[in-house]
């Protein structure tokens, strides 16, 4: 331990210079002791000792105490090895992290370059899209202009045909406008009947007859579950399925079990297969006039029986699928079929050839597409040009097509007198 300056001073004062010299003088022989004289002056040694002794004591204390402290505070070898090992591991980990950081920085640089290239590519594509949008807009405007020109030409052609029909009209032949008016009359009467029949009712398609179900299989997309909003359209379609049968040449002489009516029907069916339509129509009217001269009552009865058979067929088709009071509905049904039968005989008397047929809603198992040239859309507020290509949901009323003119010429020319009425499928609403 360190000594205080007072203690060192006390030790310095305790040294006696006489005592220092005494042992040496005592060891001298007696004869020499008298003549002994110290080499150094008296008090020299004691002064030197007193000068160096405190420094010697202080240095001896400083050299011994640190060794003891170092020994006491030294770290054990095992702990030192563990710390050294951990240091080496941390050094390796630091090196690996530095390498990973360098790799990530290189990857960030590459991704940054790729991002710049992608942005440049997207900008190029966006520019192309804008250019295509401009071209599409120009094409749409051109298409609209072409459509307007087509409609204008169609109107001019219609005016020309009306004038030709008026100038070339012969006895017992209808013009296109007259045919169109009669067809519209039948359609609106059928639509009113269907709305009345479906008011407050639900149609169970599973209770329809097999013939009715087969008909809807080709003319409606609704066979199992029928939306309530489509009930009138489906009823009009079912009525039209029987209506177009009346326009067949076989029923020109009505329907009946009498030998006269039966023979006329069989002969008409035979001539229909082996004779062209012009010759068949030229034969029908003179034959009917002859039959009227022979037995007018039988011919009238056959006409009435045709209407009854059509009404009975509709009742059989609907069966118990919808609650309906046939006592009230039957007269309206017969009136519609009577108008159709009268129009059918007028068309068959014409020199032009007319075809009355339905547009199928399903073709080869695939929904048919809407065509504004031969179809008219109902129950929709959209423009027909926007409906082109959309699937048909229900085909409800037949179209009337004419081949040739009132003079029986140009039989290769086709004119759509009345377009088929269909219900296009509504687009799905986006959520």
pLDDT (tens digit per residue) in 361-394: 888 888 889 988 889 988 787 788 888 888 898 9
- Identify the helix (H) or strand (E) that includes residue 418: strand 414-418
Please, which pLDDT band fits residue 64 given cuts at 50, 70 and 90? very low
| Collapsed DSSP state (helix, strand, coil) of residue 27 | coil
pLDDT of residue 422: 92
Q: What is the pLDDT of residues 66-78, one digit of tens each?
A: 444 444 445 578 8
Q: How far is CA 311 from CA 96, 187, 195, 239, 314, in A?
A: 93, 16, 17, 9, 5
111 vs 367: CA distance, rounded Å: 49
> Where is average pLDDT lowest: 50-64, 105-119, 133-147, 198-212?
50-64
User: Between residues 168 and 214, which one has the greater pLDDT?
Assistant: 214
The predicted pLDDT at position 313 comes to: 92
Question: What number is the average pLDDT over the span 287-303?
Answer: 83
Give the residues across from 423 on adjacent strands: 394
Q: Give mean pLDDT, residues 231-239.
A: 90
Q: What's the pLDDT band for 167 if we cut at 50, 70, 90?
A: very low
Q: What is the mean pLDDT of residues 55-59?
A: 63
Question: Quick one: which of 241, 248, 232 has its CA closest to 358?
Answer: 241
Q: Is the pLDDT of residue 190 over 70?
A: yes
Are 317 and 197 within 8 A, CB to CB?
no
Would you say residue 354 has pLDDT above 80? yes
Spatial contact of 225 and 386, defined as CB atoms under 8 Å apart: no
pLDDT computed for residue 55 by the predictor: 65
3-state helix, strand, coil in the chain (%, to 5): 70, 10, 25
- State what percent of residues in the chain have pLDDT above 70: 74
How many other β-carbons are positioned within 10 Å of the β-carbon of residue 303? 20
> Given the structure tokens 């079929």, which residue do they identify?
337
The answer for residues whose C-beta is within 8 angstroms of residue 319's C-beta and 6 or more apart is 207, 208, 209, 212
CA distance 232 to 191: 7
pLDDT given for residue 102 in this prediction? 87
Which residue, among 394, 372, 392, has the nearest Cα to 384 in the 3D structure? Answer: 372
Across residues 293-308, what is the average pLDDT? Answer: 86
Cα separation, 322 vs 203, whole angstroms: 5
Share of the chain above pLDDT 90, in %: 16
Q: So what's the pLDDT on residue 73?
A: 47
Identify whether the C-beta of residue 297 lies closer than 8 Å to the C-beta of residue 288: no
Task: Check residue 336 and give its pLDDT.
Answer: 93
Mean pLDDT of the chain: 78
* pLDDT of 163: 61
Greater confidence, 253 or 180?
180
pLDDT at 31: 55
The H or E element containing residue 357 is: strand 353-357
20-50 pLDDT, tens digit each: 444 544 555 555 544 545 555 555 555 655 5
Rg (CA), the chain: 61
User: Which tens digit of pLDDT belongs to each residue from 301-337?
Assistant: 888 988 999 999 999 998 888 888 888 889 999 999 9
Residues in the chain: 431
Q: What is the pLDDT of residues 199-228, one digit of tens each?
A: 878 888 888 889 988 898 888 887 667 777
Angstrom distance (rounded) from CA 235 to CA 26: 159
* Residue, of 408 and 293, whose pLDDT is higher: 293
3-state class (DSSP) for residue 322:
coil
d(CA 314, CA 326): 11
- Beta-strand ranges (E) seen in 180-267 are none
pTM for this model (two decimals): 0.59
**Is pLDDT at 159 greater than 80 in this prediction?**
no
pLDDT value, residue 14: 46
């Amino acid at each position: 331990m360190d000594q205080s300056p007072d203690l060192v001073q006390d030790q310095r004062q305790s040294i006696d210079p006489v005592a220092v010299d005494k042992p040496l003088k005592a060891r001298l022989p007696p004869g020499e002791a008298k003549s002994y004289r110290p080499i150094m002056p008296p008090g020299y040694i004691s002064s030197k000792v007193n000068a160096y002794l405190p420094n010697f004591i202080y240095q001896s204390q400083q050299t011994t105490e640190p060794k003891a402290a170092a020994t006491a505070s030294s770290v054990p070898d095992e702990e030192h090895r563990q710390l050294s090992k951990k240091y080496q591991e941390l050094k390796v980990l630091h090196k690996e992290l530095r390498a990973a950081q360098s790799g990530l920085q290189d990857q960030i640089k590459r991704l940054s370059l790729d991002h710049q290239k992608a942005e440049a590519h997207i900008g190029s594509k966006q520019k192309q899209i804008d250019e295509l949008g401009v071209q599409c807009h120009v094409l749409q405007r051109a298409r609209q202009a072409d459509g307007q020109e087509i409609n204008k030409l169609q109107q001019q052609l219609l005016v020309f045909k009306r004038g030709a029909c008026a100038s070339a009209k012969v006895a017992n032949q209808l013009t296109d406008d007259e045919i169109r008016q009669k067809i519209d009359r039948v359609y609106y009467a059928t639509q009113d009947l269907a709305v009345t029949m479906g008011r407050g009712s639900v149609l169970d398609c599973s209770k329809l007859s097999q013939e009715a179900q087969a008909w809807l299989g080709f003319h409606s997309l609704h066979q199992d579950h029928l939306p309530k909003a489509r009930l009138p359209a489906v009823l009009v379609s079912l009525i039209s399925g029987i209506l177009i049968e009346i326009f067949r040449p076989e029923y020109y002489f009505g329907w009946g079990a009498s030998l006269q009516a039966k023979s006329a029907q069989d002969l008409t069916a035979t001539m229909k297969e082996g004779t062209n339509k012009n010759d068949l129509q030229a034969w029908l009217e003179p034959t009917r006039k002859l039959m009227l001269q022979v037995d007018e009552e039988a011919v009238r009865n056959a006409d009435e029986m045709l209407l009854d058979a059509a009404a009975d067929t509709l009742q059989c088709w609907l069966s118990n699928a919808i609650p309906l009071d046939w006592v009230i509905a039957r007269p309206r049904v017969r009136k519609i079929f009577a108008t159709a039968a009268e129009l059918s005989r007028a068309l068959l008397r014409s020199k032009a050839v007319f075809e009355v047929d339905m547009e199928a809603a399903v073709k080869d198992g695939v929904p048919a597409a809407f065509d504004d040239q031969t179809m008219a859309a109902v129950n929709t507020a959209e423009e027909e040009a926007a409906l082109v290509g959309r699937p048909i949901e229900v085909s409800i009323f037949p179209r009337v097509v004419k081949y040739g003119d009132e003079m029986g010429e140009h039989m290769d020319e086709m004119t759509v007198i009345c377009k088929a009425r269909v219900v296009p499928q509504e687009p799905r609403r986006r959520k």
